[in-house]
């Protein structure tokens, strides 16, 4: 029975993972990891060992990187040209990272399992039967010797593993504005909703003229427009309408209930360069694998010399994200091996 489960899990792993070949494109994208800060390093699973692989440890911290907006291989990143640049002309970002690795990397299987986090959450540990974030269950992944890694790519979430993205601005430095549609389905009545979590864009003006707030009971129902005099870009959590002006929140007279779908269409400002999440993933995985040029020379790789290949895993939203990260896009040239 145990061997049958293991065999089936290997098949599942093969289906769940996407092994991406990176094809040379005549040059490497000019981007790299510029610093790694490990804030916490600790043994896991109460020191349990997994056969010949031994014990595991977890590393949590922050990775810093930069992307060259002048490089044609980065041109696919929307609004990258409009992001602020440092003294070297590069666009900077930082992201949360987490690594689960054999304490002795020489005992691992030299393969990185990189998971694209789903709304900041880790799901790879659940591939172990009975496993979760705190216990290994049957320890399938650990007994195979895999190293697991996660990094942020979403800048519009409020919890979990995230990325800090630059804000795009107009060439003259003025804020970029545009129309945004947001939908809210609440589980408890509230006086105020936060319009920046998500989407992560505050209103361009406190004046709600031109903005529209509607409600409906079912998805296919006709929208009922709520008069602009009954709501405001404001916080009414402690003060009734018109409340305290706040471009990141919406206050509704009488409050938001749980029986309606609320839809807000408004003019927002300060879009983030969300596509950097793809480049950040590319460069972090390449850095962990030890690719030349994937990081500044001075940056210490916590997996140095222990990884040859990388697999990428995603579920639900993250699985679709991987399909967008096509091997012909955002590529970093390396030896012609199958890898992330």
Domain boundaries, the chain: 2-167+273-324, 177-269
Question: 201-215, 250-264, 308-322 — which is least confidently predicted?
Answer: 308-322
* Separation CA 156–CA 162 (nearest Å): 8
71-75, 220-224, 322-326: least confident range: 322-326
Q: Residue 168 in contact with residue 273, Cβ under 8 Å? A: yes
pLDDT number for residue 326: 61
Q: For 156-160, 213-217, 229-233, 247-251, which range has the lowest pLDDT when averaged over its residues?
A: 156-160
Extract the tokens encoding 67.
């992307």
pLDDT at 324: 83
Whether the predicted pLDDT of 28 surpasses 70: no
Q: Which of 124, 125, 201, 133 is nearest to 165 (CA)?
A: 201
Helix, strand and coil in the chain, % to nearest 5: 20, 35, 50
For the chain, give the mean pLDDT.
Answer: 87
- Tokens 């870009």 label which residue? 233
Taking only the tens place, the pLDDT of each residue in 187-245 is 999 999 988 776 678 999 999 999 999 999 999 999 999 999 999 999 999 999 999 99
**pLDDT tens column, 83-134:** 999 999 999 999 999 999 999 999 999 999 999 999 999 999 999 999 988 9
- Quote the Cα angle for 54-56-59, to 5°: 155
Average pLDDT, integer, range 142-153: 97
pLDDT for 258-275, tens place per residue? 999 999 999 999 999 999
pLDDT of residue 274: 93
Cα 35 from Cα 97, distance rounded (Å): 12
- The residues, ordered by sequence, that sit 6+ positions from 113 with a Cβ below 8 Å of its Cβ are 17, 124, 141, 146, 147, 148, 149, 310, 311, 313
Distances in Å between the alpha carbon of 171 and those of 81, 82, 83, 84, 275? 9, 7, 9, 10, 19
Residue 19 has pLDDT above 70, yes or no: no
List CB contacts of 144: < 8 A, sequence separation 6 or more.
53, 109
């Amino acid at each position: 029975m145990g061997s049958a489960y293991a065999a089936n899990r290997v098949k599942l792993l093969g289906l769940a993972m996407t092994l991406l070949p990176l094809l040379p494109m005549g040059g490497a994208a000019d981007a790299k990891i510029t610093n790694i800060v490990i804030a916490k390093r600790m043994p896991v699973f109460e020191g349990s060992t997994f056969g010949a692989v031994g014990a595991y440890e977890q590393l949590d911290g922050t990775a810093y990187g930069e992307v060259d907006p002048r490089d044609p291989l980065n041109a696919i990143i929307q609004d990258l040209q409009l992001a602020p640049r440092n003294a070297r002309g590069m666009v900077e970002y930082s992201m949360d990272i987490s690594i689960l690795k054999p304490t002795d990397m020489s005992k691992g299987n030299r393969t990185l399992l990189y998971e694209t986090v789903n709304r900041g959450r880790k799901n790879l540990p659940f591939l172990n039967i009975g496993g979760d974030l705190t216990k290994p269950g049957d320890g399938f992944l650990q007994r195979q010797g895999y190293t697991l890694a996660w990094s942020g790519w979403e800048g519009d979430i409020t919890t979990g593993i995230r990325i800090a993205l630059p804000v795009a601005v107009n060439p003259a430095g003025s804020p970029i504005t545009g129309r945004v549609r947001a939908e809210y389905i609440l589980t408890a009545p509230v006086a105020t909703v936060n319009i920046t979590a998500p989407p992560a864009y505050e209103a361009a003006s406190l004046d709600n003229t031109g903005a529209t707030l509607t409600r409906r009971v079912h998805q296919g129902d006709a929208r009922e427009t709520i008069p602009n005099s009954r709501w405001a870009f404001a916080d009414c959590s402690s003060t009734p309408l018109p409340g305290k002006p706040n471009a990141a929140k919406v206050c509704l007279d009488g409050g938001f209930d749980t029986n309606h779908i609320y839809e807000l269409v408004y003019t927002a400002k300060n879009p983030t360069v969300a596509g950097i999440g793809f480049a950040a993933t590319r460069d972090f995985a390449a850095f962990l694998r030890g690719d030349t040029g994937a990081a500044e020379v001075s940056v210490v790789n916590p997996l140095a010399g222990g990884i040859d290949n990388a697999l990428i895993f995603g579920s639900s939203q993250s699985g679709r994200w991987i399909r967008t990260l096509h091997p012909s896009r955002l590529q970093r040239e390396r030896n012609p091996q199958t890898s992330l």
